[in-house]
Amino acid sequence: MRSRPGGRAVSIPYVPWEPVDPLGVPRAAYVHVPFCVHRCGYCDFTVVAGRDDLISAYLDALACELSRLESPQPVETLFLGGGTPTHLPERSLERLLELVREWFPLSSGGEFSVEANPVGLSPAKLGLLADAGVNRVSLGVQSFDTQSLATLERDHSPELARQTVEAVRDRFPECSVDLIFGVPGQSLVTWQTTLETAIALGPTHLSAYGLTFEKGTAFWGRRLKGTLASIPDELERSQYELAMELLSACGFGQYELSNYARAGHESRHNATYWANGPYFAAGPGAARYVKGTRETNHRSTTTWIKSTLAGRTALSSQEKLSLEDRARETLMLGLRRTAGVFFEAFQKQTGFALEEIAKPLLARDWLRDCLAIDEERIALTREGRCVADSVVAALWE
Ligand code: SF4
């Protein structure tokens, strides 16, 4: 293959990239369930901990917000995220599942994912999920190391995590395990043991995220005070490289910066986000992308409940992107996929030439080693994946 100027010609996995219509009717839906037993110190999600008294009002408000769709919206992927959806007591979980199935009927062969945590995921709740057609459970394990779990303020033991992965794996066709590296005190060896333990349990999918210190979290405050320190950048990079090497050697293809799957078990729901396709969303803090407009619901669960039940919209932001910004976003999101962004599909989807939108990247010498370019597409190299945030930031400079 000939190389285009500005990057390296590097062999990268070929995965077809179909253009999507951002203005078309969404075929994906996300519902946010904000309840958790407690708030982990690093958590920046829309969460309420110790407020189970709000569950009933939350479900009423969700019914109200969904009824604004006016008619049921058939989807191909449905994702219940949180928070911890499976924290809901059985009766409430049943009502939640009924509501989302009523308003977002899943097409035959569709993907229905639910996020869950090991604590409280009883056989009865797993049965409710399976009966409702859930076929993919994404488990927040984060680590199989006692010390890392304590640092992350997780409320489960490595043993409970192991048992839960086995229970989910045996009951659902798709079992995904979330892990975190870059944890203060976590060595390369501890991280390797966590990865090996996860692989040995036989999930179909693994996500490995680097720990971030988000403003407003307890971890952010502790780092400012000096009571919690980030691990050195070089160690965190080695941990990421180890995940890429080990997982691919064990048959988990890396198809996105943080996501790895056995062939054919990639997350279909998240693929809509990375393709910059449209999706519905409901619940506090949930973000939707419908008819070219991005909207985000209020992050406060109580504000979202009150406004929604009072018949008002509960939006905290609404933005209609220019065509060029939409194209830039499509490139930014597309580069997260290891397959990269295809010239032809990009032009069809956005109306812009990929070379034009990617100019700020192609013009920078320091990005040469970060981009793999051939006649068909632009992708991040392995080096580019390690510094993906800086690469993407250059698009907006
Ligand atoms: S369990 Fe997950 S969503 Fe809940 S507080 Fe912890 S990190 Fe946040």
Mind listing the pLDDT tens digit for each residue in 20-76? Answer: 898 899 999 999 999 999 999 999 999 999 999 999 999 999 999 999 998 999 999
Instruction: Label residues 276-309 b or e (16+ Cβ within 10 Å = b).
Output: bbbbbbbbbbbebbbeeeebbbbbbbeebbebbe
Residue 36 in contact with ligand 1 by CB distance below 6 A: yes
* Ligand 1 atom having least distance to the Cα of 49: 5
pLDDT of residue 4: 46
Residues 339, 12 contacting (CB under 8 angstroms): yes
Which among 139, 138, 55 has a CA at the least distance from the CA of 99? Answer: 55
Structure pTM?
Answer: 0.94
Which among 133, 22, 36 has a CA at the least distance from the CA of 78? Answer: 133
Mind listing the pLDDT tens digit for each residue in 329-379? Answer: 999 999 999 999 999 999 999 999 999 999 999 999 989 899 999 999 999
Which protein residue has the closest C-alpha to ligand 1 atom 8?
43
pLDDT of residue 22: 86
Ligand 1 center–CA 311 separation, angstroms: 29
Mind listing the pLDDT tens digit for each residue in 148-183? Answer: 999 999 999 999 999 999 999 999 999 999 999 999
Mind listing the pLDDT tens digit for each residue in 72-117? Answer: 999 999 999 999 999 999 999 999 999 999 999 999 999 999 999 9
Residue type, 177: V
Ligand 1 center–CA 39 separation, angstroms: 6
* Domains annotated on the chain, with CATH: 1-15+339-397 (no CATH), 28-274 (3.20.20.70)
Ligand 1 center–CA 130 separation, angstroms: 23
**Alpha-carbon distance 314 to 304, whole Å?**
5
pLDDT > 90? residue 395 = no
Q: How many residues does the chain have?
A: 397
pLDDT > 50? residue 2 = no
Residue 39 in contact with ligand 1 by CB distance below 6 A: yes
Q: Which residue has the higher pLDDT, 396 or 81?
A: 81
Residue 209 in contact with ligand 1 by CB distance below 6 A: no
Residue 195 in contact with ligand 1 by CB distance below 6 A: no
Structure tokens at 225: 């005070």
Per DSSP, helices labelled H in 84-187 are 90-103, 123-131, 146-151, 158-171
pLDDT of residue 105: 98
**Alpha-carbon distance 84 to 161, whole Å?**
15
pLDDT > 50? residue 10 = no
Mind listing the pLDDT tens digit for each residue in 216-273? Answer: 999 999 999 999 999 999 999 999 999 999 999 999 999 999 999 999 999 999 999 9
pLDDT of residue 19: 85
Ligand 1 center–CA 284 separation, angstroms: 15
Which protein residue has the closest C-alpha to ligand 1 atom 5?
39
Structure tokens at 256: 């996105």
pLDDT of residue 84: 97
Pocket test for ligand 1, best of 33, 36, 80, 209 (most atoms within 8 A of CB): 36
Residue 81 in contact with ligand 1 by CB distance below 6 A: no
Pocket test for ligand 1, best of 33, 35, 40, 139 (most atoms within 8 A of CB): 40
Residues 90, 128 contacting (CB under 8 angstroms): yes
